[in-house]
């Protein structure tokens, strides 16, 4: 296990650190081209990535389990296939990380839960199967919060934001976000129930795509709230996310909620540009009572798109005054059901945050749940109507700038965490939960930097099944700017 000691080893990024290793910060697409051209061997690349993890991750704690032997075996297989002319595509031989919520055959899958510390699945999650079929090399399982909620179990590791160890690493896909930002993988899997792809992506300055609900199979992924859970890709650049998404998406008979939709083909859409596309923005929703620097960064990003021919179009978000109670009732009831086999019977093995969340969820009455589901249906219809008027909607991503946090706060009780979160980012949920409730796709990517050196992000939300179009918009913005080339200084 990578990094078994809990606690903060050092609270600041190393000021005098050398520049990051260039190879570790290559885009997935760039390293794929080198592999395809046989300029780099998947075996050598995997060994170097494992060595970097061994050097860096005892501090950052992005990985829960490093799968060194299996990664080398997979890399050897990829190298042999490529040498024989059997190149599978841009993921072949590329080292990635898998969130430890996703089953991996023969490798423990803990879900951030002490109660699942010894669980070893007998099969891979569908998303893992598809990425391996595409030739990806799995370096290991990335850390996450307990049960994919916001707080961590005190017995488990808490990833550190590589930009500043005193700042929030994001929510449950934090290990994936940290590993990408620190150059410890070239792509990763995340999940998003209330913002857990977009929060860690924005907090760590990487790209995250929350797909349409059902676009990526949830089979073999530990549930948090099945009607809200989304599985999606995270990477350092938009094209990398598109590559991962194309491999992950598709109907899965093992998941009855998965969609029978045409292939995503997000990579093919990347070069289409934004000329004539309508980019919606509700400035009162997106830019008022948010971080002033972030608001300026988003305005600047809209100007970049406008110069490329996009039409910036005013829109109005639905009333979100009851957003959090609606989400909390549905998620709370569903997570309580998901943990019924071990909670409350093994309550002592749960951390204080998740214990309180489960207790609250178990107290949701059938009448309250039915009312929340009715409100969700109304909000979904309102979001659908709004998104039908534009090609994409722009706004904050919810996790940036990363706010000050302590280890004690992240492993402590729910009220203290939420008080601190509410004081630091009172509107964070407004930028992520509507998309989860409505099942609408959203992508976030870097768009600036704060005065104290932390990443800013912009989020684009679209109609159902519009992931390719969202990648196209995000790629056009990314290629016109340089924010994706900034990386934290990580000692290695």
Tokens coding 46: 């995997």
The answer on pLDDT for 14 being more than 90 is: no
CA distance 488 to 460: 24
In this prediction, residue 22 carries a pLDDT of: 72
CA distance 64 to 97: 10
Name the catalytic one among 61, 62, 99, 174: 99
In this prediction, residue 119 carries a pLDDT of: 98
Confidence of residue 405 (pLDDT cuts 50, 70, 90): very high
Confidence of residue 3 (pLDDT cuts 50, 70, 90): very low
Tokens coding 176: 């994936």
The answer on pLDDT for 438 being more than 60 is: yes
The answer on pLDDT for 7 being more than 90 is: no
Tokens coding 16: 């005098």
The answer on pLDDT for 5 being more than 70 is: no
Q: For the whole prediction, is pTM greater than 0.75?
A: yes
Find the radius of gyration of the CA atoms of the chain.
21
Name the catalytic one among 62, 173, 196, 457: 196
CA distance 488 to 161: 9
Whether residue 439 contacts residue 467, with contact meaning beta carbons closer than 8 Å, is answered with: no
Name the catalytic one among 24, 27, 41, 172: 172
Collapsing DSSP states into helix, strand and coil, what is residue 180?
Answer: helix
The answer on pLDDT for 18 being more than 50 is: no
Mean pLDDT of the region 6-24: 42
- Residue 117 vs residues 7, 110, 112, 120, 336: alpha-carbon distances, Å: 19, 5, 8, 9, 19
Quick: pLDDT tens for 387-402: 999 999 999 999 999 9
Residue given tokens 């389990």 in the structure block: 65
The answer on pLDDT for 10 being more than 90 is: no
Helix H segments across 117-265?
126-133, 174-181, 198-204, 238-248
Buried/exposed code over 271-302 (b: 16+ C-beta within 10 A; e: otherwise): eeebeebebbbbeebbbeebbebbbebbbebb
CA distance 187 to 406: 27
The C-alpha angle 73, 78, 80, rounded to 5 degrees, equals 95
Confidence of residue 21 (pLDDT cuts 50, 70, 90): low
Confidence of residue 492 (pLDDT cuts 50, 70, 90): low
Interhelix angle 28-36/68-83, rounded to 10 degrees, is: 50
* Strand duo 95-99 + 137-142: pairing: parallel
The answer on pLDDT for 6 being more than 90 is: no
The answer on pLDDT for 95 being more than 50 is: yes
> Which residues, 6 or more positions from 238, have their beta carbon under 8 angstroms from its beta carbon?
207, 270, 443, 445, 471, 474, 475, 478, 484
Mean pLDDT of the region 22-49: 95
172 is catalytic: yes
27 is catalytic: no
Pick the closest to residue 240 from 213, 281, 209, 215 (CA basis): 209
Domain 23-485 belongs in CATH node 3.40.30.10: no
Whether residue 60 contacts residue 159, with contact meaning beta carbons closer than 8 Å, is answered with: yes
Confidence of residue 155 (pLDDT cuts 50, 70, 90): very high
The answer on pLDDT for 20 being more than 90 is: no
The answer on pLDDT for 2 being more than 80 is: no
Interhelix angle 238-248/28-36, rounded to 10 degrees, is: 70
Domain definitions of the chain by residue range: 23-485
Whether residue 392 contacts residue 463, with contact meaning beta carbons closer than 8 Å, is answered with: no
The answer on pLDDT for 17 being more than 70 is: no
* Strand duo 455-461 + 392-395: pairing: antiparallel
The answer on pLDDT for 152 being more than 90 is: yes
258 is catalytic: no
Mean pLDDT of the region 130-143: 98
The answer on pLDDT for 16 being more than 70 is: no
The answer on pLDDT for 11 being more than 50 is: no
Quick: pLDDT tens for 286-313: 999 999 999 999 999 999 999 999 999 9
The answer on pLDDT for 491 being more than 90 is: no
Mean pLDDT of the region 128-152: 98
The answer on pLDDT for 457 being more than 80 is: yes
């Amino acid at each position: 296990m990578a990094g078994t000691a809990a606690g903060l080893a050092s609270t600041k990024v190393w000021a005098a650190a050398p520049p990051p290793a260039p190879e570790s910060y290559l885009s997935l697409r760039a390293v794929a081209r080198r592999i395809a051209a046989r300029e780099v061997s998947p075996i050598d690349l995997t060994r170097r990535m494992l060595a970097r993890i061994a050097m860096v991750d005892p501090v950052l704690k992005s990985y829960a389990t490093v799968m060194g032997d299996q990664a080398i075996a997979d890399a050897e297989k990829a190298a042999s296939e490529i040498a024989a002319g059997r190149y599978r595509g841009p993921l072949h031989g590329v080292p990635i990380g898998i969130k430890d919520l996703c089953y991996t055959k023969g490798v423990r899958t803990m879900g951030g839960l002490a109660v699942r510390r010894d669980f070893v699945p007998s099969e891979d999650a569908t998303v893992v199967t598809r990425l391996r079929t595409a030739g990806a090399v799995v370096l290991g399982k990335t850390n996450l919060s307990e049960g994919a909620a916001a707080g961590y179990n005190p017995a488990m590791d808490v990833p550190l934001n590589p930009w500043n160890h005193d700042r929030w690493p994001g929510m449950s896909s934090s290990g994936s976000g940290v590993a990408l930002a620190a150059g410890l993988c070239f792509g990763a899997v995340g999940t998003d129930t209330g913002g857990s792809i977009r929060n860690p992506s924005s907090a760590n300055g990487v790209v995250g795509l929350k797909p349409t609900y059902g676009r990526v199979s949830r089979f073999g992924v530990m549930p948090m709230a099945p009607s809200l859970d989304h599985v999606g890709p995270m990477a350092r650049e938009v094209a990398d996310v598109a590559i991962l998404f194309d491999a992950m998406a598709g109907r899965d008979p093992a998941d009855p909620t998965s969609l029978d939709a045409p292939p995503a083909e997000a990579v093919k859409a990347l070069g289409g540009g934004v000329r004539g596309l309508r980019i919606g923005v509700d400035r009162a929703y997106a830019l008022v009572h948010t971080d002033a620097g972030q608001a300026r960064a988003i305005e600047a990003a809209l100007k970049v798109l406008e110069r490329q021919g996009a039409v910036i179009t005013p829109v109005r978000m639905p009333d979100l005054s009851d957003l959090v109670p609606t989400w909390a009732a549905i998620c709370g009831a569903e997570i309580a059901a998901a943990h019924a086999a071990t909670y409350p019977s093994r309550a002592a093995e749960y951390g204080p945050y998740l214990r309180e969340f489960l207790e609250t969820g178990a107290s949701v009455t059938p009448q309250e749940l039915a009312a929340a589901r009715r409100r969700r249906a109304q909000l979904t219809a309102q979001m659908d109507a709004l998104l039908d008027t534009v090609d994409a909607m722009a706004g904050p991503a919810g996790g940036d700038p990363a706010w000050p946090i302590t280890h004690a706060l992240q492993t402590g009780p729910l009220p203290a965490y939420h008080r601190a979160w509410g004081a630091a980012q009172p509107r964070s949920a407004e930028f992520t939960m509507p998309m989860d409730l409505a099942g609408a796709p959203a992508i976030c990517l870097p768009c600036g930097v704060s005065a104290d050196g932390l990443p800013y992000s912009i989020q684009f939300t679209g109609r159902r099944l519009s992931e390719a179009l969202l990648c196209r918009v995000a790629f056009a913005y990314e290629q016109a700017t340089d924010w994706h080339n900034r990386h934290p200084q990580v000692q290695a």
